[in-house]
Amino acid sequence: MKIYEDARRHALTMFGILAMGVLFVIAVERIVGHSSIAFAVVAVALIIANRRSARYNCPRCGSNLFWHGWLPMPWPNSTCSKCELDLTQKDQ
């Protein structure tokens, strides 16, 4: 299904944003010295960018693809954790 590919693309985007955030904090630390503001800016940016993850839900039961049972994970489920629908198939 398209939902799994979209969720996978979102996870890869989040990893990229995280990597850029780490590099930004390192650069600010080297230029300015220790700065909690740089860390806070990156944390807020990650929270804002991750809001989209709430939209990736199973089309059958509505369970979120980024939750494995009660535990949130950085990579989406390929099968639904509640109804076990295969989310990687193109046609359902």
Position 69 pLDDT exceeds 80: no
pLDDT digit string, tens, across residues 17-52: 999 999 999 999 999 888 889 999 999 999 999 888
pLDDT at residue 34, rounded to an integer: 83
**Are 43 and 15 in contact, with CB atoms under 8 Å apart?**
no
Percentage of the residues of the chain whose pLDDT score is greater than 70: 96
Give pTM, 2 decimals.
Answer: 0.79
- Interacting residues of 61 by C-beta distance below 8 A, sequence separation 6+: 80, 82, 83, 85
Q: Which amino acid is at 73?
A: M
pLDDT at residue 80, rounded to an integer: 84
